[in-house]
A and B are shown apart, each in its own frame.
Chain A
Amino acid sequence: MRLLLLEDDANTAAYVSKGLEEEGHTVDHLADGRDAVAKAIGEDYDVIILDRMLPGLDGLAIIKTIRSAGRRVPVLFLTALGGVDDRVEGLDAGGDDYLIKPFAFSELLARVNALARRPHIKGEETRLKVGDLEIDLVSRKVTRGGVAIDLQPREFRLLEVLMRNRGRVVTRTMLLERVWSFHFDPKTSVVETHISRLRAKIDKPYGKELIHTIRGSGYTVNDGA
């Protein structure tokens, strides 16, 4: 993927660029907000990662400018610790996802991967399939090997988030945000408990696991072939 990184802190920028390049991505790094706008609009990136606070031009203003120029490129913005309002403001301005500094690299990677557009998608998917597991987003039915599985609404939502990102890692924090709208770190094993209930319904009876735990990162759904 081609990524644009807008970050004025040299250490963070080097750490992020190096990590993403090791994952096989191409990273263009800029430190000044004004240079960034021209590049973000003029060139074709898969994901833009930008710091909320940049010299020259504020991160929010950059997102707004890119959006008003008609560019739909996914934007992941980085905010400072404890900035309760930054996230809401960033999303309002047209950002797609956010990450609070300091962050684990695996978290950044998972979010960048989740944001990247997949070229083969035409329109909105309504049926998602991994191995013999199939979910229908319209009728909200789940089947495995043709057998219907009864899920609670929240379990369905959890599976849906995992299935939409099939083949990619979804972190614990991403699940908390997307399934439960939790924007804080719970002190109990909320995610683990719900994942284990979901596994009991869709994995255990069928012998072959489709939900996999990626240690230190999160979860992924794939048929493990």
Chain B
Amino acid sequence: MTVRNLFKRTPFRLAATFSLFFITTVLALFTVIYLVASARLVSDIRDRVRTNIDSLAVLDGDRTFDDLVTVVAEESESVRDPDFIVELVDKNGKFLAGNVRGVPESNQWMTLKRSSLNFTMDRGEPNDEFLAIWKPLAKGRLLVGSDNSEVKQMKSFLLKLLAYGLLAMSVPVVLCAIYFARQTQHRIDAFANPLARVSQGQIEARVPISGLEDDIDQLAVQVNGMLGNLQRLIENVNQSSSDIAHDLKKPVGRLRQRLDGARRKAKDRAEFQAALDEALVDIDSITETFDALLRITQIEAGARKDRLVPVDLRVLLADVHDVYDIVAEDAGNKFSYKSDVESPASIRGDPELLVQLFANLVENAIRHCPSGTQIGLRLLESTGAYNVHVSDTGPGIPSTERENVFRRLYRLERARSTDGSGLGLSLVAAIAELHGAKVSLADNTPGLRVEVSFPAA
């Protein structure tokens, strides 16, 4: 892996950034310590030099000046390899005493290299430096300087401390960063690999859950949920396609037989006419299946959502009852409507689709129940919802089949003899979904009760 690629990995980038930030902070901290400590040392040395120079300057005066020359001369001679320098000159700059001579005049602090000085005695270690200053006197001037090797030692000590400290701290920080980066990288890879398989068509692949219940796990749960939904949708689509093909094969086959039969056997115009009429009925039923499928798709796509208007369910259900009362009666059934709601049962809805929804449920009851069945339409109110029950005392639907009947083109075994597309309840479900309503099937003991629960407007 190239460095460029490495930086495209988020965990590595984060770890590198973090390490760099940490090291920079430590470096800044050490720099401050270094600067403060060395400034402090320098000022200590200057204080010492000043004390020294002041104690000598006491001898400055007409009567004692000769004593000062003697003291300076004695001090200069007493020490080999001196850690201080001293020079006394008269008003004309003529050398009087000291262990160095000819130091240039200045009224500021000077840092003088031992090698650049003109020693009268021993010169000592050539790498040292002195921190020195001139003090003007009544009869001349006096220079005192002190070795500043302490500062140098302190500086080198601090630098070493910085180097070792940085190293000591950086190693665990970098190791830690690498560890977390690798850890996170592993989890990301564990995420990415199944998704790559999904995009290659293995929809059943799932992201592993680490069990840490952290944000990545939450993400994994969401992604798995999404993949599950996707898989179900794809299976539905596949299922529907094969169902549609299957469902159409029968009527198309029947149509073919009819036309073929008419071509071979029909003797006169009337017989041809009859065969053609039957063929048209077959074609209409095929068209109807397509229409229902397209309608369901459109309704599910939510195209009509912006057409919802306030609808009073009491009135709408009374209308449905009005239409089907005598239809049920002619089929030998009793159809009743009862509303437990006194005031308008107002929901936001598409009246046309709602009529279709309830017509569908009532027609199912009429068509699939034997004569003598009681069919009931009832409106109830619960908190924040209106519930519509369409019940019958017919054969009902076994509880194991109740989920299946909402599937497109699904038909109960005993319903296969009656005509119908097997799309009625799918359409009901789609219309309910558009209205945010829930549809459930319950046992009416005996019979079936379909419950549709609408959120109140």
B-binding residues in A (CB < 8 A):
81-85, 88, 100, 102, 104, 154, 180-190, 193-194, 197, 216
Contacts and interface: CB of A to CB of B under 8 A. Distances in A.
Given A82-B292, A187-B363, A197-B326, 8 more contacts: A81-B291, A83-B294, A85-B304, A104-B280, A184-B356, A186-B359, A188-B327, A190-B324
Nearest to B420: A187
Interface in B291-313: 291-295, 297-299, 303-304, 307
B255 to A, nearest CB: 14
Given A181-B352, A182-B359, A188 B366 contact: yes
B355 A181 contact: yes
Contact of A190 (B277, B298, B327, B356): B327
B13 to A, nearest CB: 50
Given A85-B304, A187-B367, A194 B352 contact: no
B330 interface: yes
Interface string B336-357: 0000000000000001100110
Nearest to A183: B352
B294 A188 contact: no
A182 B290 CA distance: 19
B367 A82 contact: no
Contacts of A185: 288
16 contacts: A81-B287, A81-B291, A82-B291, A84-B299, A85-B304, A104-B280, A154-B322, A181-B351, A181-B352, A183-B352, A185-B288, A189-B327, A190-B327, A193-B326, A193-B330, A216-B277
Given A88-B307, A181-B355, A189-B327, A82 B290 contact: yes
A186 B420 CA distance: 11
Interface in B321-337: 322-324, 326-327, 330-331
Q: How large is the interface on B (under 10, 10 to 19, 20 to 34, 35 or more residues)?
A: 35 or more
B381 to A, nearest CB: 26
Nearest to B293: A82
A181 B293 CA distance: 21
Given A82-B297, A104-B280, A197-B326, A188 B291 contact: no
Contacts of B355: 181-182
Nearest to B366: A188
Interface string B274-293: 00010010000001101111
Interface in B124-171: none
A155 to B, nearest CB: 10
Contacts of A102: 287
Contact of B304 (A84, A187, A189): A84
B367 A188 contact: yes
